[in-house]
Amino acid sequence: MSRVIIIGYGNIDRGDDGAACVIINLLRGKWGIAPLENFDTGMDALGREADSVFISQLLPEIMETLTDYDKVVFVDAHVGDDPTEIRCDRVAPEYAHTIFTHHMTPAVLLAFLKTLYNREPEAYLVSVRGYDFDFKQGLSSRTQSLLPAAVDRILQTLSGETASQ
């Protein structure tokens, strides 16, 4: 049996940086699973064929959990020079030196997973364009409007219909 985990990450107190939390809850709704409540990561309820969690950042501590999965979909919000509204990219293990020891990219997390646990799940990053990262809860209307398409993209990725964009 192939198992998948969707890992949303971000800060719900920084506007659009909380988009992944909303996306995770939309996915959970489609699967008939109760939404995550405030401060609930979903890590205590793993064990389905398709699991979903929301964490504030990618940490090395999640590696052992990932050993149980064949496919990982990371979900976050992006900003900056990338004008793409929704990106879906394959992620390969790739080590990159960082001065932050408790924050890593999906590629770096996968590189450590491969090195320490000899596991290399199929992995993707679905990223939604964020427009407002002020200190507040709630998403901008522009980012909110992208969420249904982001959920669809994740479901397509899970079903094997992947295409980078």
d(CA 22, CA 36): 9
Band of residue 100 on the pLDDT scale cut at 50, 70, 90: low
Within a domain: residue 164? no
- 3-state DSSP assignment of residue 53: strand
What pLDDT score does 150 carry?
98
Span 103-125, mean pLDDT? 94
pLDDT at residue 38 in the model: 87
pLDDT, tens digit (0-9, with 9 covering 90-100), for 51-80:
999 999 999 999 999 999 999 999 999 998
Domains: count for the chain: 1
pLDDT at 31 (0 to 100): 96
pTM attached to this predicted model: 0.94
pLDDT of res. 23: 98
Is residue 42, in this structure, part of any structural domain at all? yes
Residue 64 included in any domain: yes
Tokens of 27: 């996915």
Residue 47, phi then psi, degrees to nearest 5: 135, -5
Residue labelled with tokens 């990561």:
41
The Cβ of residue 105 has, within 10 Å, a number of other Cβ atoms equal to: 16
Instruction: Report the chain's C-alpha Rg in angstroms.
Output: 15
The pLDDT confidence band at residue 139, using thresholds 50, 70 and 90, is very high
Q: Is 51 exposed, middle or buried (CB count within 10 Å of its CB: 0-12, 13-18, 19+)? A: buried
Per-state percent for the chain, helix, strand, coil, to nearest 5: 35, 20, 45
19 falls in which pLDDT band (50, 70, 90)? very high
- Examine residue 165 and state whether it is found in any structural domain, yes or no: no
Q: What is the mean pLDDT of the chain?
A: 93
Range of the domain at 140: 4-158
Q: Write out the H or E segment, with its range, that includes residue 72.
A: strand 71-78
Lowest mean pLDDT among 8-12, 24-28, 29-33, 82-86: 82-86
Is the pLDDT score of 15 beyond 90? yes
Whether 116 is in a domain gets the answer yes
Does the pLDDT value for residue 101 go beyond 80? no
Residue 135 lies in a domain: yes
User: Does residue 9 form part of some domain?
Assistant: yes
Q: What CATH number is associated with residue 54?
A: 3.40.50.1450
For residue 82, the model assigns a pLDDT of: 82
